[in-house]
Amino acid sequence: MADYIIRDSYPVQTAAYESAGDASARIKRKLKQLGIDSAILRRIAVASYEAELNLIIHSHGGELIMEMTPKSIVLISKDVGPGIADISQALKEGYSTASEEARDLGFGAGMGLPNMKRNADSFDITSEVGVGTTIQMGFQIA
């Protein structure tokens, strides 16, 4: 049996720039209603928004999943490709493969993955080219 008390999944479409942030805003509003401390909530919101933007800018589509237990919140970003060939390079600040379109909107500075890692209490990324990328971020709330 799963030990989480809430599990929500939010699909994120590729290139859906118009609605970028919708899933993260919904997650943030829900957690705010549940009384999560505002400083922790801001870290979760930033990590979630970065993950959502990555799904829109780089992936072939995927989902954001939020799991909450009495002690922690776990954010999972899962996509169906294209996968990251060199994860250590993708984790470097300033490294970006974002499109011109994404940059015009104010994104693609190469801060996404490092910023997720910095904001989360735990960070795990696995990726396989041609298969997809999964990122799991944990946040202690108690």
Partner 1 sequence: MITIRDLIKILDAKVLCGEEKLDEEVRSACGSDLMSDVLAFVKDKSLLITGLTNVHVMRTAEMLDIHCIIFARGKIPPEDVLEEAKELGICVLATEHTTYVACGLLYGAGIPGTSKRTGA
Q: Is the dihedral of CA 134, 121, 46, 37 positive or negative?
A: positive
Q: Read off φ and ψ for residue 8, nearest 5 degrees.
A: -120, 145
Order across the sheet with 72-79: list the strands: 6-12, 62-68, 72-79, 132-140, 122-128
Q: Minimum distance between the CB of residue 77 and partner 1, rounded to whole angstroms?
A: 15
Stretch that binds partner 1, among 4-12, 67-75, 79-87, 113-121 (CB under 8 A): 113-121
Question: What span, in angstroms and rounded, lies between the C-alpha atoms of 77 and 128?
Answer: 14
Residue from 50, 59, 84, 141 touching partner 1 (CB under 8 A): that is 50
Residue from 61, 81, 82, 110 touching partner 1 (CB under 8 A): that is 110
Residue from 59, 75, 107, 127 touching partner 1 (CB under 8 A): that is 107
- Nearest Cα residue to 77 out of 88, 89, 67, 87: 67
Name the token pair of 92.
């470097």
Name the token pair of 17.
């720039």
Residue from 3, 33, 38, 100 touching partner 1 (CB under 8 A): that is 38
Q: Is 137 in the site for partner 1 (CB under 8 A)?
A: no
Residue from 7, 42, 71, 92 touching partner 1 (CB under 8 A): that is 42
Q: How many residues bind partner 1 (CB under 8 A)?
A: 28
| Binding residues for partner 1 (CB under 8 A) | 20-21, 24-25, 28, 38-39, 42-43, 45-46, 48-50, 105-112, 114-115, 118-121
